[in-house]
Amino acid sequence: MRLAGTIFSNVTKMLDFYSQFNPSPLSIKQFIDFGLNACEKKSYIFLRKELPVRLANIMKEIALLPENLLRMPSVGLVNQWYERSFEEIIRFEKMEPEQKVLTEFCSRLVHIRNRHADVVQTMAQGVLELKESHEVDCGVEHSIQYFLDRFYMSRISIRMLINQHTILFGEQPVGAKQSSVNGMGNGGRHIGCIDPACDVVGVVQDAYENARFLCDRYYLASPELELLQCGVPDLRPMPVVYVPSHLYHMLFELFKNAMRAVMERHESCPPPITVNIVPGKEDVSVKMSDRGGGIPRSVSDLLFKYMYSTAPQPSKSDEHTVPLAGYGYGLPISRLYARYFHGDLCLLSCEGHGTDAVIYLKALSNEANELLPIFNKTSTKFYRPSAQLADWSGSLNTAGVAKNSREKLSPLSNSL
Protein backbone atom coordinates (compact mmCIF):
# COMPACT_ATOMS: atom_id res chain seq x y z
CA MET A 1 0.00 0.00 0.00
CA ARG A 2 2.85 2.35 0.83
CA LEU A 3 4.44 1.70 -2.57
CA ALA A 4 1.14 2.37 -4.36
CA GLY A 5 0.75 5.59 -2.39
CA THR A 6 4.25 6.70 -3.37
CA ILE A 7 3.58 6.06 -7.06
CA PHE A 8 0.30 7.98 -6.88
CA SER A 9 2.05 10.88 -5.14
CA ASN A 10 4.75 11.03 -7.83
CA VAL A 11 2.18 10.96 -10.64
CA THR A 12 0.21 13.76 -8.95
CA LYS A 13 3.36 15.89 -8.71
CA MET A 14 4.15 15.26 -12.38
CA LEU A 15 0.58 16.13 -13.32
CA ASP A 16 0.87 19.44 -11.47
CA PHE A 17 4.22 20.07 -13.17
CA TYR A 18 3.13 19.39 -16.75
CA SER A 19 -0.18 21.25 -16.38
CA GLN A 20 1.81 24.48 -15.91
CA PHE A 21 2.86 24.39 -19.57
CA ASN A 22 0.76 25.34 -22.58
CA PRO A 23 0.42 22.84 -25.44
CA SER A 24 2.40 23.66 -28.59
CA PRO A 25 0.01 23.86 -31.56
CA LEU A 26 1.27 22.63 -34.93
CA SER A 27 0.07 23.49 -38.41
CA ILE A 28 -0.68 20.98 -41.15
CA LYS A 29 2.36 22.40 -42.96
CA GLN A 30 4.57 21.62 -39.94
CA PHE A 31 3.21 18.08 -39.78
CA ILE A 32 3.99 17.62 -43.48
CA ASP A 33 7.44 19.26 -43.37
CA PHE A 34 8.46 16.98 -40.51
CA GLY A 35 6.92 13.90 -42.14
CA LEU A 36 8.83 14.44 -45.39
CA ASN A 37 12.13 14.19 -43.47
CA ALA A 38 10.85 12.09 -40.60
CA CYS A 39 13.26 11.45 -37.72
CA GLU A 40 11.99 9.04 -35.10
CA LYS A 41 14.34 10.35 -32.41
CA LYS A 42 13.15 13.95 -32.86
CA SER A 43 9.52 12.85 -32.82
CA TYR A 44 10.13 10.83 -29.64
CA ILE A 45 11.85 13.75 -27.88
CA PHE A 46 8.97 16.06 -28.81
CA LEU A 47 6.13 13.68 -27.91
CA ARG A 48 7.51 12.54 -24.56
CA LYS A 49 7.09 16.17 -23.44
CA GLU A 50 4.13 17.32 -25.52
CA LEU A 51 1.80 14.39 -24.84
CA PRO A 52 2.07 14.74 -21.02
CA VAL A 53 1.38 18.48 -21.37
CA ARG A 54 -1.79 17.89 -23.40
CA LEU A 55 -2.93 15.08 -21.12
CA ALA A 56 -2.21 17.08 -17.94
CA ASN A 57 -4.03 20.17 -19.21
CA ILE A 58 -7.28 18.30 -19.81
CA MET A 59 -6.93 16.04 -16.76
CA LYS A 60 -6.83 19.14 -14.55
CA GLU A 61 -10.19 20.14 -16.02
CA ILE A 62 -11.68 16.69 -15.45
CA ALA A 63 -11.04 17.26 -11.74
CA LEU A 64 -13.11 20.47 -11.89
CA LEU A 65 -16.28 18.78 -13.17
CA PRO A 66 -19.41 18.84 -11.01
CA GLU A 67 -19.09 16.30 -8.18
CA ASN A 68 -22.19 14.39 -9.27
CA LEU A 69 -20.75 13.85 -12.74
CA LEU A 70 -17.36 12.74 -11.41
CA ARG A 71 -19.13 10.05 -9.36
CA MET A 72 -20.72 8.48 -12.44
CA PRO A 73 -19.13 5.06 -13.17
CA SER A 74 -18.42 5.79 -16.83
CA VAL A 75 -16.72 9.11 -16.08
CA GLY A 76 -14.62 7.40 -13.42
CA LEU A 77 -13.54 4.82 -16.00
CA VAL A 78 -12.47 7.53 -18.46
CA ASN A 79 -10.55 9.28 -15.68
CA GLN A 80 -8.71 6.03 -14.91
CA TRP A 81 -7.76 5.62 -18.58
CA TYR A 82 -6.24 9.10 -18.67
CA GLU A 83 -4.36 8.61 -15.41
CA ARG A 84 -2.91 5.33 -16.64
CA SER A 85 -1.90 6.77 -20.02
CA PHE A 86 -0.26 9.80 -18.40
CA GLU A 87 1.71 7.55 -16.06
CA GLU A 88 2.89 5.37 -18.95
CA ILE A 89 4.08 8.33 -21.03
CA ILE A 90 6.05 10.06 -18.26
CA ARG A 91 8.07 6.87 -17.74
CA PHE A 92 9.92 7.84 -20.93
CA GLU A 93 10.74 11.34 -19.66
CA LYS A 94 14.44 10.66 -19.05
CA MET A 95 14.99 7.63 -21.29
CA GLU A 96 17.55 8.16 -24.04
CA PRO A 97 16.28 7.66 -27.62
CA GLU A 98 17.94 4.29 -28.19
CA GLN A 99 16.31 1.94 -30.70
CA LYS A 100 14.90 -0.35 -28.02
CA VAL A 101 13.31 2.64 -26.25
CA LEU A 102 11.94 4.02 -29.53
CA THR A 103 10.32 0.69 -30.36
CA GLU A 104 8.84 0.41 -26.87
CA PHE A 105 7.56 4.00 -27.05
CA CYS A 106 5.82 3.43 -30.39
CA SER A 107 4.24 0.23 -29.07
CA ARG A 108 3.06 2.04 -25.95
CA LEU A 109 1.42 4.76 -28.05
CA VAL A 110 -0.55 2.09 -29.93
CA HIS A 111 -1.74 0.64 -26.61
CA ILE A 112 -2.79 4.10 -25.39
CA ARG A 113 -4.69 4.82 -28.60
CA ASN A 114 -6.50 1.50 -28.33
CA ARG A 115 -7.30 2.09 -24.66
CA HIS A 116 -8.94 5.41 -25.50
CA ALA A 117 -10.85 4.10 -28.52
CA ASP A 118 -14.21 4.22 -26.70
CA VAL A 119 -13.70 7.49 -24.80
CA VAL A 120 -16.44 9.38 -26.68
CA GLN A 121 -19.11 6.73 -26.07
CA THR A 122 -18.03 6.14 -22.48
CA MET A 123 -18.08 9.82 -21.55
CA ALA A 124 -21.43 10.16 -23.30
CA GLN A 125 -22.72 7.27 -21.20
CA GLY A 126 -21.49 9.08 -18.09
CA VAL A 127 -23.52 12.16 -19.01
CA LEU A 128 -26.57 9.93 -19.56
CA GLU A 129 -26.02 8.37 -16.13
CA LEU A 130 -26.02 11.85 -14.62
CA LYS A 131 -29.22 12.87 -16.42
CA GLU A 132 -30.97 9.69 -15.30
CA SER A 133 -29.95 9.98 -11.64
CA HIS A 134 -29.83 13.75 -10.95
CA GLU A 135 -31.53 16.98 -11.87
CA VAL A 136 -29.22 18.98 -14.13
CA ASP A 137 -29.65 22.75 -13.82
CA CYS A 138 -28.60 25.35 -16.40
CA GLY A 139 -25.29 26.13 -14.68
CA VAL A 140 -24.19 22.49 -14.56
CA GLU A 141 -25.23 21.99 -18.17
CA HIS A 142 -23.13 24.98 -19.24
CA SER A 143 -20.11 23.61 -17.37
CA ILE A 144 -20.52 20.19 -19.00
CA GLN A 145 -20.90 21.73 -22.46
CA TYR A 146 -17.78 23.85 -21.96
CA PHE A 147 -15.78 20.88 -20.68
CA LEU A 148 -16.84 18.41 -23.37
CA ASP A 149 -15.93 20.80 -26.19
CA ARG A 150 -12.45 21.12 -24.71
CA PHE A 151 -12.16 17.46 -23.70
CA TYR A 152 -13.05 16.11 -27.13
CA MET A 153 -10.86 18.71 -28.89
CA SER A 154 -7.97 17.61 -26.69
CA ARG A 155 -8.68 13.99 -27.60
CA ILE A 156 -8.62 14.82 -31.33
CA SER A 157 -5.26 16.55 -30.95
CA ILE A 158 -3.69 13.74 -28.90
CA ARG A 159 -4.86 11.09 -31.38
CA MET A 160 -3.45 13.20 -34.20
CA LEU A 161 0.01 13.23 -32.60
CA ILE A 162 -0.12 9.52 -31.80
CA ASN A 163 -1.35 8.58 -35.28
CA GLN A 164 1.36 10.61 -37.01
CA HIS A 165 4.10 8.95 -34.98
CA THR A 166 2.80 5.39 -35.17
CA ILE A 167 2.02 5.60 -38.90
CA LEU A 168 5.41 7.12 -39.75
CA PHE A 169 7.52 4.90 -37.51
CA GLY A 170 5.40 1.90 -36.56
CA GLU A 171 5.54 -1.44 -38.27
CA GLN A 172 3.21 -1.76 -41.25
CA PRO A 173 1.81 -5.01 -42.66
CA VAL A 174 3.65 -6.27 -45.75
CA GLY A 175 2.13 -4.77 -48.87
CA ALA A 176 0.00 -2.31 -46.91
CA LYS A 177 -1.35 0.54 -48.99
CA GLN A 178 -2.94 3.75 -47.82
CA SER A 179 -5.92 3.70 -50.12
CA SER A 180 -8.82 4.33 -47.77
CA VAL A 181 -10.12 7.75 -46.74
CA ASN A 182 -9.36 6.86 -43.15
CA GLY A 183 -5.72 7.55 -43.94
CA MET A 184 -4.40 4.78 -41.71
CA GLY A 185 -1.51 3.47 -43.74
CA ASN A 186 2.00 4.43 -44.76
CA GLY A 187 1.96 4.02 -48.52
CA GLY A 188 1.23 6.22 -51.51
CA ARG A 189 1.33 10.00 -51.21
CA HIS A 190 0.13 10.20 -47.60
CA ILE A 191 2.35 11.70 -44.91
CA GLY A 192 1.19 9.92 -41.79
CA CYS A 193 -2.57 10.43 -41.74
CA ILE A 194 -2.37 13.65 -43.81
CA ASP A 195 -3.04 13.58 -47.54
CA PRO A 196 -1.28 16.47 -49.36
CA ALA A 197 -3.79 16.00 -52.18
CA CYS A 198 -6.91 14.91 -50.33
CA ASP A 199 -9.67 14.60 -52.95
CA VAL A 200 -12.71 16.30 -51.43
CA VAL A 201 -14.93 14.87 -54.17
CA GLY A 202 -13.78 11.33 -53.44
CA VAL A 203 -14.32 11.68 -49.68
CA VAL A 204 -17.81 13.13 -50.28
CA GLN A 205 -18.72 10.17 -52.47
CA ASP A 206 -17.34 7.66 -49.97
CA ALA A 207 -19.18 9.23 -47.02
CA TYR A 208 -22.39 9.37 -49.06
CA GLU A 209 -22.22 5.70 -50.08
CA ASN A 210 -21.66 4.52 -46.51
CA ALA A 211 -24.45 6.71 -45.14
CA ARG A 212 -26.69 5.56 -47.99
CA PHE A 213 -26.07 1.93 -47.03
CA LEU A 214 -27.40 2.66 -43.53
CA CYS A 215 -30.31 4.65 -44.89
CA ASP A 216 -31.35 1.85 -47.25
CA ARG A 217 -31.12 -0.56 -44.34
CA TYR A 218 -33.48 1.44 -42.14
CA TYR A 219 -35.84 3.10 -44.65
CA LEU A 220 -35.52 0.71 -47.64
CA ALA A 221 -34.76 3.75 -49.81
CA SER A 222 -32.40 6.72 -49.85
CA PRO A 223 -31.96 10.13 -51.51
CA GLU A 224 -29.60 10.47 -54.47
CA LEU A 225 -26.48 12.66 -54.39
CA GLU A 226 -26.16 15.73 -56.61
CA LEU A 227 -22.48 16.73 -56.61
CA LEU A 228 -21.48 20.21 -57.77
CA GLN A 229 -18.31 22.26 -57.94
CA CYS A 230 -18.85 26.02 -57.92
CA GLY A 231 -22.53 25.36 -58.63
CA VAL A 232 -21.93 23.20 -61.72
CA PRO A 233 -22.13 19.37 -61.92
CA ASP A 234 -18.51 18.21 -61.81
CA LEU A 235 -16.93 14.96 -60.60
CA ARG A 236 -13.30 15.92 -61.22
CA PRO A 237 -11.00 15.59 -58.19
CA MET A 238 -10.59 18.66 -55.98
CA PRO A 239 -7.37 18.34 -53.95
CA VAL A 240 -6.79 19.98 -50.58
CA VAL A 241 -4.14 19.39 -47.92
CA TYR A 242 -6.09 17.72 -45.12
CA VAL A 243 -6.68 14.67 -42.94
CA PRO A 244 -9.11 12.50 -44.97
CA SER A 245 -10.46 10.71 -41.88
CA HIS A 246 -11.47 14.03 -40.28
CA LEU A 247 -13.27 15.22 -43.40
CA TYR A 248 -14.95 11.83 -43.77
CA HIS A 249 -16.19 11.94 -40.17
CA MET A 250 -17.84 15.34 -40.70
CA LEU A 251 -19.45 14.44 -44.01
CA PHE A 252 -20.68 11.06 -42.82
CA GLU A 253 -22.45 12.66 -39.84
CA LEU A 254 -24.00 15.36 -42.02
CA PHE A 255 -25.18 12.82 -44.59
CA LYS A 256 -26.77 10.68 -41.86
CA ASN A 257 -28.65 13.68 -40.46
CA ALA A 258 -29.73 14.88 -43.91
CA MET A 259 -30.89 11.44 -45.03
CA ARG A 260 -32.88 10.84 -41.86
CA ALA A 261 -34.65 14.21 -42.27
CA VAL A 262 -35.36 13.67 -45.98
CA MET A 263 -36.68 10.13 -45.55
CA GLU A 264 -38.96 11.04 -42.67
CA ARG A 265 -40.43 13.91 -44.71
CA HIS A 266 -40.52 12.23 -48.16
CA GLU A 267 -41.07 8.50 -47.74
CA SER A 268 -41.85 7.47 -51.29
CA CYS A 269 -39.89 9.83 -53.56
CA PRO A 270 -37.04 11.50 -51.63
CA PRO A 271 -35.43 14.55 -53.30
CA PRO A 272 -31.65 14.48 -53.76
CA ILE A 273 -29.08 15.85 -51.33
CA THR A 274 -26.90 18.48 -53.01
CA VAL A 275 -23.23 18.98 -52.17
CA ASN A 276 -21.50 22.04 -53.63
CA ILE A 277 -17.69 22.29 -53.27
CA VAL A 278 -16.24 25.77 -53.73
CA PRO A 279 -12.52 26.65 -53.42
CA GLY A 280 -11.71 30.16 -52.19
CA LYS A 281 -8.61 32.12 -51.24
CA GLU A 282 -9.03 31.46 -47.52
CA ASP A 283 -11.29 28.42 -47.34
CA VAL A 284 -12.50 25.45 -49.29
CA SER A 285 -16.24 25.35 -48.57
CA VAL A 286 -18.31 22.17 -48.73
CA LYS A 287 -22.02 23.00 -48.64
CA MET A 288 -24.58 20.22 -48.14
CA SER A 289 -28.24 21.07 -48.81
CA ASP A 290 -31.23 18.86 -48.09
CA ARG A 291 -35.00 19.23 -48.39
CA GLY A 292 -35.83 17.48 -45.15
CA GLY A 293 -38.19 20.11 -43.77
CA GLY A 294 -35.65 22.18 -41.89
CA ILE A 295 -35.30 22.89 -38.18
CA PRO A 296 -37.21 25.42 -36.04
CA ARG A 297 -35.04 28.32 -34.83
CA SER A 298 -35.88 27.40 -31.25
CA VAL A 299 -34.14 24.06 -31.82
CA SER A 300 -31.25 25.00 -34.14
CA ASP A 301 -29.13 26.48 -31.32
CA LEU A 302 -29.49 23.23 -29.37
CA LEU A 303 -28.09 20.99 -32.10
CA PHE A 304 -24.49 21.51 -30.99
CA LYS A 305 -25.29 20.73 -27.36
CA TYR A 306 -24.11 17.39 -26.01
CA MET A 307 -27.11 17.02 -23.72
CA TYR A 308 -29.61 17.35 -26.56
CA SER A 309 -30.55 14.97 -29.36
CA THR A 310 -33.46 14.81 -31.80
CA ALA A 311 -33.13 11.03 -32.01
CA PRO A 312 -33.91 8.34 -29.42
CA GLN A 313 -31.01 7.39 -27.16
CA PRO A 314 -29.29 4.13 -28.18
CA SER A 315 -30.04 1.16 -25.97
CA LYS A 316 -27.36 -1.20 -24.72
CA SER A 317 -28.92 -3.99 -26.77
CA ASP A 318 -28.20 -1.96 -29.92
CA GLU A 319 -24.50 -1.46 -29.19
CA HIS A 320 -23.38 -3.70 -32.06
CA THR A 321 -25.52 -1.95 -34.66
CA VAL A 322 -24.83 1.28 -36.53
CA PRO A 323 -27.97 3.42 -36.37
CA LEU A 324 -28.55 6.64 -38.29
CA ALA A 325 -28.51 8.54 -35.00
CA GLY A 326 -27.27 7.93 -31.49
CA TYR A 327 -26.11 9.96 -28.51
CA GLY A 328 -26.55 13.25 -30.38
CA TYR A 329 -22.79 13.88 -30.36
CA GLY A 330 -22.36 13.71 -34.14
CA LEU A 331 -22.78 17.43 -34.86
CA PRO A 332 -20.84 18.89 -31.91
CA ILE A 333 -17.88 16.56 -32.44
CA SER A 334 -17.96 17.11 -36.21
CA ARG A 335 -17.73 20.86 -35.56
CA LEU A 336 -14.70 20.21 -33.35
CA TYR A 337 -13.04 18.28 -36.18
CA ALA A 338 -13.68 21.25 -38.47
CA ARG A 339 -12.36 23.75 -35.92
CA TYR A 340 -9.33 21.65 -35.00
CA PHE A 341 -7.38 23.10 -37.94
CA HIS A 342 -9.16 26.49 -37.72
CA GLY A 343 -12.00 25.66 -40.06
CA ASP A 344 -15.65 25.55 -39.00
CA LEU A 345 -19.01 23.85 -39.46
CA CYS A 346 -22.16 25.96 -39.64
CA LEU A 347 -25.87 25.22 -40.09
CA LEU A 348 -28.52 27.39 -41.73
CA SER A 349 -32.07 26.05 -41.73
CA CYS A 350 -35.23 27.14 -43.47
CA GLU A 351 -38.08 25.64 -41.49
CA GLY A 352 -40.60 23.95 -43.78
CA HIS A 353 -38.05 23.41 -46.55
CA GLY A 354 -34.59 22.12 -45.58
CA THR A 355 -31.18 22.70 -44.06
CA ASP A 356 -27.82 23.84 -45.38
CA ALA A 357 -24.63 22.70 -43.63
CA VAL A 358 -21.29 24.24 -44.58
CA ILE A 359 -17.86 22.81 -43.75
CA TYR A 360 -15.01 25.32 -44.02
CA LEU A 361 -11.49 23.95 -44.53
CA LYS A 362 -8.43 26.20 -44.52
CA ALA A 363 -7.14 26.52 -48.08
CA LEU A 364 -3.53 27.19 -46.97
CA SER A 365 -1.77 24.51 -44.91
CA ASN A 366 0.38 27.06 -43.05
CA GLU A 367 -2.81 28.71 -41.74
CA ALA A 368 -4.36 25.41 -40.66
CA ASN A 369 -3.06 25.47 -37.08
CA GLU A 370 -4.18 23.17 -34.29
CA LEU A 371 -6.80 24.70 -31.99
CA LEU A 372 -5.96 23.46 -28.50
CA PRO A 373 -7.58 23.87 -25.06
CA ILE A 374 -5.34 25.38 -22.39
CA PHE A 375 -5.83 24.92 -18.66
CA ASN A 376 -5.49 28.22 -16.81
CA LYS A 377 -7.31 30.58 -14.45
CA THR A 378 -9.55 31.77 -17.28
CA SER A 379 -10.81 28.27 -17.98
CA THR A 380 -11.39 27.31 -14.34
CA LYS A 381 -14.03 29.98 -13.77
CA PHE A 382 -16.42 28.28 -16.21
CA TYR A 383 -16.77 25.33 -13.86
CA ARG A 384 -18.12 27.47 -11.02
CA PRO A 385 -21.86 28.10 -10.65
CA SER A 386 -22.85 31.64 -11.58
CA ALA A 387 -26.04 33.68 -11.53
CA GLN A 388 -27.91 33.79 -14.83
CA LEU A 389 -29.18 37.12 -16.15
CA ALA A 390 -32.62 37.13 -17.75
CA ASP A 391 -32.61 40.32 -19.80
CA TRP A 392 -33.34 40.47 -23.52
CA SER A 393 -29.68 39.86 -24.42
CA GLY A 394 -29.03 37.44 -21.57
CA SER A 395 -28.23 33.79 -21.27
CA LEU A 396 -31.61 32.25 -20.47
CA ASN A 397 -32.93 32.22 -24.02
CA THR A 398 -31.52 30.03 -26.77
CA ALA A 399 -29.79 32.93 -28.52
CA GLY A 400 -28.08 33.81 -25.27
CA VAL A 401 -26.99 30.21 -24.79
CA ALA A 402 -25.34 30.22 -28.20
CA LYS A 403 -23.61 33.52 -27.39
CA ASN A 404 -22.33 32.22 -24.08
CA SER A 405 -21.06 29.04 -25.73
CA ARG A 406 -18.95 31.10 -28.12
CA GLU A 407 -17.60 33.22 -25.28
CA LYS A 408 -16.76 30.18 -23.20
CA LEU A 409 -14.75 28.70 -26.02
CA SER A 410 -12.60 31.83 -26.22
CA PRO A 411 -9.78 30.27 -24.14
CA LEU A 412 -9.36 27.83 -27.02
CA SER A 413 -9.04 30.62 -29.54
CA ASN A 414 -10.24 34.16 -30.08
CA SER A 415 -11.47 33.09 -33.50
CA LEU A 416 -14.24 30.86 -32.13
Q: CB neighbours of 338 closer than 8 A, spacing ≥ 6?
A: 250, 344, 345, 359, 360, 361
Burial 318-353 (b: 16+ CB within 10 A, else e): eeeeeebbbbbbbbbbbbbbbbbbbbbbebebeeee
DSSP string, 55-91: HHHHHHHHTTS-HHHHTSHHHHHHHHHHHHHHHHHHT
One-letter amino acid identity for 189? R
Q: Which of 116, 142, 246, 256 is catalytic?
A: 256
Active site residue 342: no
Q: Which of 253, 287, 305, 370 is catalytic?
A: 253
Active site residue 129: no
Q: Which of 257, 287, 362, 408 is catalytic?
A: 257
Task: For residue 16, report the phi and psi dihedrals to the nearest 5 degrees.
Answer: -60, -40
C-alpha to C-alpha distance for 353 and 253, rounded to whole angstroms = 20
Active site residue 210: no
Active site residue 249: yes
Q: Which of 60, 246, 249, 342 is catalytic?
A: 249
Task: For residue 284, report the phi and psi dihedrals to the nearest 5 degrees.
Answer: -100, 120
Distance of CA 43 to CAs 97, 192, 276, 365, Å?
Answer: 10, 13, 38, 20
For 176-253, where are the E strands, in sequence order? 195-199, 225-229, 232-233, 239-242
**Catalytic positions:** 249, 253, 256-257
